[in-house]
Amino acid sequence: MDRKDFLDESPIVHSSAFIAKSADMIGAVTIGEEASIWYGAVLRADIQEIVIGPRSNVQDGSIIHLEREQGTHVGQYVTVGHKAILHACKIDDEVLVGMGSIIMDGSRVGARSIIGAGALVTMDTQIPPGSLVLGSPAKVVRALSNDEQKSLKKWAENYVQLSRKYLQKKIL
């Protein structure tokens, strides 16, 4: 793991979090309890803050950045799929951000939603809670069922369990 100070800011990582050795965290990054940042992920908080909530995971190759007026905030029990890009946005609790999706500046994804793989959420888009969002540009295609919404927390819990195994075996 490469931790770099930027303008006197250093990443703050909860002691129970898993950070893969090849993940890069720069500047004002805060990683919550039992969160995990996986291989090749880049979290660059050089002009605003990035906050990753408890028990959330940022999977391999994902990029999280920001802009001057707005940081990036990820709630708890959020799964950010492989190679997703989050830029100056807010992701509420229990959200699945699909692989390769992009969420742009000023956007907010409501709790218990799914952003489908490859979706492009354009600037300043507000996604209502409990939504299934697909496409480029992304559109809400339907409301998620209660069962679908409940499953989102389980996806994140699977990564909590996996990261515990990595920590126990001291695999970085």
**pLDDT tens digit string along 7-16?**
678 999 999 9
pLDDT in tens, 43-58: 999 999 999 999 999 9
Domain coordinates of the chain in residue numbers?
2-167
pLDDT of residue 4: 55
For range 13-33, the mean pLDDT: 97
| 29 CB burial (10 A radius; 0-12, 13-18, 19+) | buried
Segments in 50-145 forming alpha helices (H): none
Read off the pLDDT of residues 118-133 as tens digits, 9 standing for 90 and up: 999 999 999 999 999 9
Mean pLDDT of the chain: 96
Q: How far is residue 42's CA from residue 20's CA, in Å, rounded to a whole number?
A: 11
Tokens 């979090």 found at: 17
Q: Average the pLDDT over 96-115 and give the result.
A: 99
Q: What pLDDT does 1 receive?
A: 47
Alpha-carbon distance values, 38 to 58, 67, 116, 134, 141 (Å):
6, 23, 20, 25, 30
Count other C-beta atoms under 10 Å from residue 99's C-beta: 17
What is the CATH T-level fold of the domain 2-167, as seen in this structure?
A: UDP N-Acetylglucosamine Acyltransferase; domain 1 (2.160.10)
